[in-house]
Homo-oligomer: A and B are copies of this chain.
Amino acid sequence: MAGDTVLLSATIALSARGRGRTAPNPNVGCIVLDAAGRVAGRGWTQPGGRPHAEAMALAQAGDRARGGTAYVSLEPCAHDSVRGPCCASLLVGSGVARVVVALTDPDPRTNGEGVARLRAAGIAVTVGMLEAQARAAMAGFLTRQRSRRPFVTLKLATSLDGCIALPDGSSQWITGEAARAHAHVERARHELILIGRGTLAHDRPRLDVRLPGLADRSPVRCVLSRSGAAPEGWLAVERPSDIASLPGDHLLIEGGAQTAAAFLTEDLVDRLLLYRAPILIGRGMASLADIGLIDLADAHERWRLTDERTLAPDRLEVYERMRAG
């Protein structure tokens, strides 16, 4: 139907509400229409991973789901658990006539099985619409499924000439209030935040979310430290690849140049948040240390601009790592 794209897009937008709060479960979105095409229920995976989006939306819809349509950003799960029936069963039981799915669930316990169960119950199923949008919204879960590690975002705040500080280390402030507030919203969308040992020793940053109403969304603090030493309440990561064992599917790296370079060298950065102030610094501290680049040709076709905006007087650009498959 012509309206499928709009409704599925709204469903994926709903899914983003759970970003950074549902691991190890995916942050899914669900919208249920009644038989007349009116919205009867909306749901998204709740903090901690339950209830699932479908359960929330179907509970809202109640009997109105009968003969209606459910939109889901991810294939409904097909594995019943001690905590209740799986979402495929819930959908079958609700009496919906049709289900529109953005993305197949790569989890081996579901992978196609959710759709198969729906079809076996006589429900019409459409799969594979708006896949790219759904992938972006659930990047944390998908990265964990595919690469067994969190989705990694590297934040850089620089001058136009790429410096993160003056030679004496002073960096307060390069970017303005709007950019800093945006960076705090980004923190709220991550379970984990990481800095290097040098930044920890030098700045002792709080790394919390200093926005009204979002203080409880501060991510768990981690430090990259070869010795494994970390302040109380912090987690230590001895090598970049050790992030695989961190609890959470979204990791934000906030500094400094050595730490950023360590993750880039191992190709463990999926997304760049590049905040740039309209200033020139000159001989300052560079944003990145050595990332092992030898031939300029190897630097190309790795990053794609996916978002940009003005955060006056600064600019934000978001780049994502292009990966095969």
Residues of A within 8 A of B (CB): 156, 158-163, 166, 170-174, 261, 264, 272, 274, 277-284, 286-294, 296, 299-305, 310, 313, 315, 317, 319
Contact = CB atoms under 8 A, between A and B. Distances in A.
Number of copies: 2
B170 A296 contact: yes
Closest 6 CB pairs of A and B: A162-B162, A282-B291, A279-B299, A283-B290, A278-B303, A282-B288
A254 to B, nearest CB: 16
Contact of A287 (B162, B172, B173, B287): B162
A161 B296 contact: no
A288 B278 contact: no
Contact of A277 (B286, B300, B315): B300
A304 B312 CA distance: 10
A283 to B, nearest CB: 4
A251 to B, nearest CB: 18
Nearest to A303: B278
Contacts of A280: 264, 288, 291, 293, 299, 302-303
Nearest to A315: B305
Contact of A160 (B277, B284, B319): B319
A264 B282 contact: yes
A168 to B, nearest CB: 9
9 contacts: A158-B161, A160-B162, A162-B163, A162-B286, A174-B296, A261-B282, A264-B280, A283-B288, A284-B293
Q: Which of A264, A299, A310 has the most CB of B within 10 A?
A: A299
A272 B180 CA distance: 25
Q: Which of A160, A173, A261, A304 has the most CB of B within 10 A?
A: A160
Contacts of A317: 160, 315
B159 A161 contact: no
A166 B293 CA distance: 8
Contact of A279 (B161, B300, B313): B300
Nearest to A264: B280
Contact of A166 (B158, B163, B296): B296
A310 B288 CA distance: 24
A185 to B, nearest CB: 22
